[in-house]
Amino acid sequence: MKKLELTLDENTAFQPLERVLKNSLGLTKRQIRQAKFRETGICINGKKQRISYVGTPGEVLTVCLEERSENTGKVLPQQGELEILYEDPDILAVNKPAGMPCHPGRGHYLDSLGNLAAGLFEKRGEPCPVRIIGRLDKDTSGVVILAKNQAAGARLGEQKTKGIFRKEYIGLVQGQLKESEGRIREPIGKIPGEKLKMQVTPEGKPADTSYQALKCLENGTLTRWEIFTGRTHQIRVHMAWLGHPLFGDPIYGTGENPYFPGLALHCAKAVFLQPFTGDKVMIQAPAKGWSEDLKDWVSQNTGTDPEDSGQE
């Protein structure tokens, strides 16, 4: 159950509660419809009121948004270790290790991030559907944000659509980049007959990736990315198309990584607004699987210090 509270002032009083619920609390028609049929769904000073009620300054509006539980059973709870980077009543942020899928699937029905998150919520006595906002590929490590209630999930989803919710990635690509920075706007679509592999194709969906070279290595480049669309394997596809596949990528490159095992791609930072307070939240995650010299360089030059995660 998520409880919202608002003290009416000169900007929210003298108008129907339905308008306040939509404009000031950002509730959808469905959320308002569900709340108004509950005994304590929509109240003024603790007393149930109709959405046509016109309030006065100083009155306290409370809304209880009940969580739907029909999705809870779809992810089987499992106990395990999660590296929690940040948490508040509405959000859980974790540092996902490489090799762990976000959602249960073939070969990973019990060891996904979703399973472990469901297990954590169950252990705390607060089971709720697992809502991952912007998943990562199985082999990509880094920041993953989970919404702990339906309203928070909807608002974070809206932030993604508007470009307010942003993620920053770091990784290692093969070869030296010709330009120190650039932007790739090439559509991405499926390869016919392939289950996983994507490609740059005119028939694909729009995809937008910016990149910046951070450090030239002996046979590669440490690179930073921000993506403005959410296509499958977007960074990996775009960099392979550019002629610089990521180290450790078995699908779009050779699969070899001379620096450390696995895919050299890590979500180092997520920035968004707390869905109800509007405070800016910045979450940072260290690249745990990377070699120590690379981790130190990234920490010193990109500001990925987990101690700086939190609200600003």
Q: How far from each other are the two terminal CA atoms of the chain, in whole angstroms?
A: 27
Whole-number Å distance between alpha carbons of 66 and 74: 19
Write down the catalytic residue from 90, 137, 139, 249: 137
User: How many C-beta neighbours within 10 Å does residue 189 have?
Assistant: 17
DSSP summary character for residue 308: G
Whole-number Å distance between alpha carbons of 53 and 265: 53
**Token pair recorded at residue 48:** 């149930």
Are the CB atoms for 146 and 91 separated by under 8 Å?
Answer: yes
Whole-number Å distance between alpha carbons of 119 and 33: 31
137 assigned to active site: yes
Are the CB atoms for 312 and 281 separated by under 8 Å?
Answer: yes
Question: Active-site residue numbers?
Answer: 137
